[in-house]
Structure 1
Amino acid sequence: MNTLQTYFVNVLGCKVNQYDAQQIEQLLERYGLKKAEQSDDGDIIVVHTCGVTAAAAQKSRQTIRKMQRNNPLAHVFVTGCAADIELTDVGQDPVFRVPAGADWIQRLDQQLNELAMPEKHEMENLETDTFTISRFGDHTRAFLKVQDGCDIGCSFCIIPQLRKEPRDKAIADAVREASALTEAGYREIVVTGVSVGLYGRGRGSSLAEMLRNLVNLPNIGRIRLSSLHPGELTDELLEVWSAHSNIMPHLHLSLQSGSDAVLHAMRRGYTAEEYYDAVLRARAALDNPAFTTDVIVGFPGETDTYFEESYAFCKKVGFSQMHVFTYSPRPKTMAAKMGHQINGAIAMERSEKLRELGETMALNYHRQFQGLEAEVLVERVKDGIGSGYTRHYIPAEFACSEDQQNAVLPVRVAETTSTGISGVISL
């Protein structure tokens, strides 16, 4: 058997999966493998799957088949949320499978050890939640996963079954990792997790305490938080947030519905009024924060009246960006077994109406910055045009030179649309 030399990682899904993929790459490189430019050149191919929806699992299956078809000699590993054969059975030659869970890195390492690697090794104390990364590809923003797993138990969600129970990264490990990423030149750290607001619940700590340890690291740049549950927006967290200007004034606060009846059926654990209270507290504490959110339309039992309640509530909040999803049943969830499933045409019509509202709200939020100066982290430069995000997570474009990539620049806002802003550098 020839010694394996190269690898290729194909990652699907969320920020947590993007982080996991970096762990996979750095594990493979400890074995002496080199990253291939394309999947056809990989001796080992890892497909890091997503299973949050039936469509995501289907895309994962298609990707596995494509990798096997295009490179039949490669060893194909399937990892991530949809790694279980029940979710991604491709009906072809068996592949190496490492489903998500607390010890998935160890199990991947064990399977790799059985192959002919250029550098055989035994890694001591290799644990998924303490295996830190020191780079994040070619990005200017790096994700820092501090939490995994979830037990909230929303009726439409299968992730608790796939990612298992909540668990945390120790603050010392997170600080060490953030320091390494900062030293490597990343100007923004996105603190993320499957349910990042649950951080510290099992260890007598909190997300606020985590942030207190990150904000004053030498040369630390921007810090941004990923998705929060409204109940996780504590006074302690807002106090830390408001005291440090390098924590960005942007909250992804998942809503899912603005109707109390639908929220109850979803088992979200809050009412629309409680959600709005979280919004008001954040607005009182932070600098005109941007609220982005997810909304599911056409959930089982969503009547015309319930939808109108949700629509009116979204309008009341005034989100800067809404991700609108048309509900589709996810096998093995409570919602999939519920009665009163919504007609697809009706759900699509409602989704379109809510998306139009989302565009209007985004434009209204962006217009507040017309003529003002916004700080933008330049993430890429192509054909003389730089692009990146403002502190408030608004996409921005402006004339820029390549040597300004990865810099935080002041941009005078000249034009606003529902999709972002454009302007000129005002140095």
Structure 2
Amino acid sequence: MKNALMNENKLATYGVNVLGCKVNQYDAQQIEQLLEDYGLVRAEVPGEADVIVVHTCGVTAAAAQKSRQTIRKMQRHHPLAQVIVTGCAANEELTQVGRPPVFRVPAGADWLQRLAAQLDSLAMPNRGAGRGIETDTFTISRFEGHTRAFMKVQDGCDIGCSYCIIPRLRKAPRDKAIEDAVREATALTEAGYREIIVTGVSVGLYGRETGSSLAELLRHLAAIPEIGRIRLSSLHPGELTDELLEVWGSSPHIMPHLHLSLQSGSNAILAAMRRGYTAEEYADAVARARAALDTPAFTTDVIVGFPGETDACFEESYAFCKAIGFSQLHVFTYSPRPRTLAATMANQVNGAIATKRSERLRALGERMSLDYHRRFIGKQVEVLIEGVRDGKATGYTRHYIPATFETTTALRRQIAVIKASEATLSGISGMNSL
């Protein structure tokens, strides 16, 4: 009876609740644009939306649990809304969550088409608006609420790290065609976005199946008239090819910052993780990038307490991180992800030991960040302004350092030049030099 009543009255408003990574943030923009194509408008009060989409994350067991909690919360507090669950955790892990009716659209190559099919079953103002769409060619023209726009050019992964569930959830790798990426980046540039972050589940795989490459894609993006900054989200060290570095180093539009995923500086642990590279190969990639780029910033992720990590393995990883000198270090204490190989491994590390190791590595990361920030004292740096409040502008430099400066005229999305005068753990500050 409830469905029949809902179908008699046209739905009018929507809300999107997104959890997780940059890829999910991009997906949420696709969802919003699709809902608006169906004639819905964003609800001024999220709790009063007729349609609520929960775009879930399943990368860790904790993320999947948070997704379940969010679904239950949406249903409990918004009993009249039509709740639709999408994303990485919208699979069998959530089949028992929530009361019917809940539509579920798991991640995969055709997830947006399947979402459109679900929307067609509801009382939409423009029913059928999504027919004929394709997920990888459905481009966006805005990134609501952000100064910098994420642009997903790749989805899926088959690398097979032993701790990761994403290949099971996101499925096989696939790319956005170069012409579609150029069209999308052009639209975002024309909409006023001064920085576009090129992202994907494993963006370095771009072009593997088509004979293209990430370098070729970046070459086309950098040639877009009026393009501002281009930033890459994350790469594996083996994906940092000479061709890519040549394109990168020759374009002022591509930022000298790279999130180069490490996970461990111990070869024994890297092998157990099935990462596909050694610490020496990682160090070589960093050296080649430093030779090609202007004082590049390297940010990374490290997992501490992976099964089999002995004291010696941790010390090896700690020393390796110190030798590389990252500008930012994201430290994660390992927790088993059900349905992964690592969750079944012997020699699981005691939680208290893993926590102490994580604290040590985080302290090292803080010192490295401060050291890197200090390199820019006395130098002029460009800052893309993300916000201005109480006479103080905040934003990011080309090297992805948070920056602040006092101003009376700066506006959001402008690029200002400041002379850095102070460096702290959280970033740099200075005076507008123009």
Give the TM-score normalised by structure 1. Answer: 0.98
1:70 has 2:77 as partner: yes
- Describe the shift of the 1:89–1:366 C-alpha distance in structure 2 as closer, same or farther (beyond 3 A): farther
SS at match of 1:404: coil
Change (3 A) 1:219 1:387: same
Residues 88 and 222 of structure 1: CA distance in aligned 2, closer, same or farther (over 3 Å) = farther
The match for 1:174 is 181
SS at match of 1:10: strand
| CA-to-aligned-CA distance 1:131-170 (integer Å, 9 cap, x gap) | 0001000312111110000000000000000000000000
Structure 1 unaligned regions, length at least 5: none
Following TM superposition, by how much is the alpha carbon of 1:333 offset from its aligned partner in structure 2, in angstroms?
A: 0.2
Residues of 2 paired with 1:195 and 1:25: CA distance? 24
Any idea what SS the aligned residue of 1:176 has? Answer: helix
Matches within 5 A, 1:230-379: 230-379=237-386
- Between the aligned partners of 1:87 and 1:299, the Cα distance in structure 2 is 27
Match of 2:59 among 47, 52, 55: 52
> Which residue number in structure 1 is paired with residue 91 of structure 2?
84
Aligned partners of 1:183, 1:91: CA distance in 2, in Å?
A: 41
How far, CA to CA, are the matches of 2:361 and 2:43 in structure 1? Answer: 42
Q: Match of 2:423, SS?
A: strand
Among candidates 12, 17, 21, match of residue 14 of structure 1 = 21
1:39–1:67 Cα contact (<8 Å) kept = no
Q: CA deviation at 1:91?
A: 4.6
| 1:90, distance to aligned residue in structure 2 (A) | 2.2
Q: What's the offset of the Cα at 1:398?
A: 1.2
Which has the larger displacement, 138-147 or 100-109? 138-147
Q: Is the 8 A contact 1:386 1:401 kept in 2?
A: no
Structure 1 residue 123: Cα displacement = 3.7
**Match in the other structure for 1:98:** 105
Structure-2 residue corresponding to 1:160: 167
Tell me, in whole angstroms, the C-alpha distance in 2 between the residues paired with 1:242 and 1:253: 17
> Is the deviation greater in 382-391 or in 176-185?
382-391
- Rounded Cα–Cα distance in structure 2 between residues aligned with 1:379 and 1:109: 33
Could you tell me how far apart the structure 1 residues matched to 2:95 and 2:394 are? 36
Using the alignment, how far apart are the partners of 1:56 and 1:398 within structure 2?
36
Is the partner of 2:346 in helix, strand or coil? coil
> CA distance change for structure 1 residues 123 and 94 in 2, over 3 Å: closer, same or farther?
closer
Structure 1 contact 57–88 (Cα < 8 Å) conserved:
no
1:151–1:165 CA contact under 8 A, matched in 2: yes
The 3-state SS of whatever aligns with 1:86 is: helix
Q: Which amino acid aligns with 2:230?
A: I
Tell me whether 183-192 or 412-421 shows the greater mean CA deviation.
412-421
1:220 aligns with 2:236: no
Identity across matched positions, percent: 73
Equivalent position of 2:395 in the other structure:
388
Give the partner amino acid of 2:366.
Answer: E
Could you tell me which residue of structure 2 aligns to residue 127 of structure 1?
A: 134
Give the drift of 1:65: 1.1
> Is the Cα–Cα contact under 8 Å of residues 61 and 88 in structure 1 kept in the other structure?
no
1:262-307: CA deviation from partner (whole Å, max 9, x where unpaired): 0000000000000000000000000010000000000000000000
Give the drift of 1:381: 1.2
Distance in 2, matches of 1:35 and 1:402, equals 31
Cα distance in structure 1, aligned partners of 2:34 and 2:116: 8
RMSD: 1.1
Query: 1:386 Cα shift?
Result: 1.0
Q: Which residue of 2 aligns with 1:26?
A: 33
CA contact (8 A) 1:326 1:351 kept: yes
Unaligned runs of 5+ in 2: 1-7
Moved more, 416-425 or 196-205: 416-425
Question: For residues 366-409 of structure 1, what are the alpha-carbon distances to aligned partners after superposition, in whole Å with 9 as ceiling and x for unaligned?
Answer: 00001111100001112222111000000111113465211010
The C-alpha deviation readout for 1:220-261, integer Å capped at 9, x for no partner, is 000000110000000000000000011000010000000000
Which secondary structure state, in structure 2, belongs to the residue aligned with residue 191 of structure 1?
strand
Q: 2-side partners of 1:63 and 1:268: how far apart?
A: 32
Does the 8 Å contact 2:165/2:340 carry over to 1? yes
Determine which of 109, 114, 122 is the counterpart of 2:116: 109
TM-score of the pair, normalised by structure 2:
0.97
Q: 1:2 aligns with which of 5, 9, 13?
A: 9
Aligned-pair CA distance for 1:92: 3.1
**CA distance, structure 1, for counterparts of residue 214 and residue 96 of structure 2:** 38
CA deviation after TM superposition for structure 1 residue 209, in Å: 0.2
Q: Is the 8 A contact 1:140 1:186 kept in 2?
A: yes
The Cα of 1:112 is off from its aligned counterpart by 0.2
Residues 303-312 or 396-405, more deviating? 396-405
CA contact (8 A) 1:371 1:413 kept: yes
Q: Distance in 1 between matches of 2:350 and 2:402?
A: 35
CA contact (8 A) 2:336 2:342 kept: yes
Give the 3 Å change call, closer, same or farther, for CA 190–349 of structure 1 in structure 2: same
Render the CA deviation track for 1:291-333: whole Å, top value 9, x for unaligned. Answer: 0000000000000000000000000000000000000000000
Q: Which of 132, 142, 145 lines up with 2:149 in the alignment?
A: 142
**Structure 1 residues 14-23 or 112-121, which shifts more?**
112-121
Structure 1 window deviating more from structure 2 (20-29 vs 36-45): it is 36-45
Give the secondary-structure state (helix, strand or coil) at the position aligned to 1:116: coil
